[in-house]
Structure 1
Amino acid sequence: MAALATQLATLENYSACDVSDALIKLQKIPAGDTARAGHLADLVPFSPTTGRNETTPNIAAPATTFQFIPKDTHPPAIATDNPDTYGFPPGKHWVDYAGDYAAADPSKAGSIVVIEQPEAQHCAVTGGIMATRMKVLGIKAAVVGGRVRDLRELRATRLPIWARATSTVGTNAEAKPGARNVPINVGGVTVSPGDIVFCDPLEGVVVIPRDLLGAVLDNLPKLTGMDDKAKEAVAMGMPVMDAFKKFRSPL
């Protein structure tokens, strides 16, 4: 098995759509559930460029997870029972823990911070100071399942940051950090610490379960090769269903 850094460099040559195509074939979806294929829906870049673009590179790295909760609720038991690993002992800001996963990871592949924010909140959970600290800690990107603010400051850090939307309101209005290093939910997709986060500035963000990374990489050349042949045949006049039948096959 290739080193993780080498695997991630290979992955970055593909698109988020390619990765989701592979996950559709590989993930086992419980009966009645909808296949999400790792896609974190409705997230867009806000730094270093606002909006989808083809000028910034793809980025892939293991996830460092943070779960935010409503400010008037108690943290989950895992955080209160073991604050040094999963919680936030007094006297230290949540973002100061952002580099811990990567520092302990023997792969030395870096990390992307992924944040869960409660649905329907209007405050931001990441702003200029947090982004600056993440940059100093060597974080490769931040993916916020919620809102951010201080866009000028975010862009000044050059840290790639994805989010659903923006706010002018600080975190303390509605939210607080509840747990870290735990599986989180971003728009219906579970992200566990160490899962591979793939940020494609044009197509979107996809999360690959860590144990499926090798299989995804094995399937990507086959899938993209089949699609290239089908696309070429359609451009030459072949009906789409005929092209699919001829060039696409189960893997």
Structure 2
Amino acid sequence: MPNLNNVLETLAENYSACDVSDALLKIQHVPEGSTVRAGYLADLVPFSPLVGRNATVPRVAAPATTFKFVAKASTVPPLTIATNENHSFPPGKHWVDYAGDYEATHSPGVGSIVVIEQPEGQYCAVTGGIMATRMKFLGIKAAVIGGRVRDLKELSGTGLPVWARGTSTVGTNAEAKPAARNVPISIGGLTVSPGDIVFCDPLEGVVVIPRELLGPVMEIMPRLTRMDEKAKQAVAQGMSVTEAFTTFRSPL
């Protein structure tokens, strides 16, 4: 694999989230009977630096740094890792202060994207202005929240791309607490593991590339996009979609 920074720059500059999903559909194997997700983290909306889908904010891609939140009343450490210093939060340390640790250890100089799992059905926010400000200082490239955020003016002021399912006026402590870091998490049923490549496309959405599939995805996407461009040009000149697909979308 070439230099990771160069690969991620090529990904962000030349492809869309849809291109990534098209590639994953071709090469990713899923258990029989399961729903094919092709890396898509569904129902996330960009709340910073601009609210809503747009084509003016640059795309960004980086390895995932993961955080798992649980219900405030929960007493059972998830994955029985409460005593593991690589995954837990020592007393007196705020979770966001660990946002840059995984990248510093595994991909120094590349940066990372924070991905947070929040329990389903909660109404509090797990990220706000102070957390976003800290992430920005630590060099985090974006934050993807499988839950809610608040302090939208402050979030936008940081310039940090922030994606979430929704917003809240309520602070984290009302319902949630951080339980683990650098562990596999689930966002809407899709697993995100530490180091997986998160691709935030402000227009199309957020997709996750399993780290081991980054090379194959980057290899196959140029061919897929060339085929689609030829098909699009042919359709624009009057060819039927069926004929265009048959002509230009050859099996891989």
Amino acid across the alignment from 1:102: E
CA-to-aligned-CA distance 1:55-112 (integer Å, 9 cap, x gap): 1100000000000011111221443131x11111101000010010111124521100
Contact 1:4 1:107 in 2 (8 A): no
| Structure 1 residue 239 displacement after superposition | 1.1
Output the CA distance in 2 between the equivalents of 1:157 and 1:10. 25
Asked if 1:70 corresponds to 2:83, the answer is no
2:8 aligns with: 8
1:17 aligns with: 18
Gaps of 5+ in 1: none
Contact 1:123 1:167 in 2 (8 A): yes
Output the CA distance in 2 between the equivalents of 1:78 and 1:61. 28
Q: Provide TM-score, normalisation by structure 1.
A: 0.98
| Structure 1 residue 249 displacement after superposition | 1.8
Aligned residue pairs: how many?
Answer: 250
Equivalent positions of 1:112-191 (< 5 A) are: 112-191=113-192
Amino acid across the alignment from 1:187: G
CA RMSD in angstroms comes to 0.9
Equivalent positions of 1:84-103 (< 5 A) are: 84-103=85-104
Distance 1:107 1:219, change over 3 A: farther
| Structure 1 residue 184 displacement after superposition | 0.3
Output the CA distance in 1 between the equivalents of 2:93 and 2:79. 19
Contact 1:79 1:178 in 2 (8 A): no
Equivalent positions of 1:53-68 (< 5 A) are: 53-68=54-69
Output the CA distance in 2 between the equivalents of 1:169 and 1:107. 35
Output the CA distance in 1 between the equivalents of 2:115 and 2:136. 14
- Percent identity for Structure 1 against Structure 2: 71
Gaps of 5+ in 2: none
Q: Provide TM-score, normalisation by structure 2.
A: 0.97
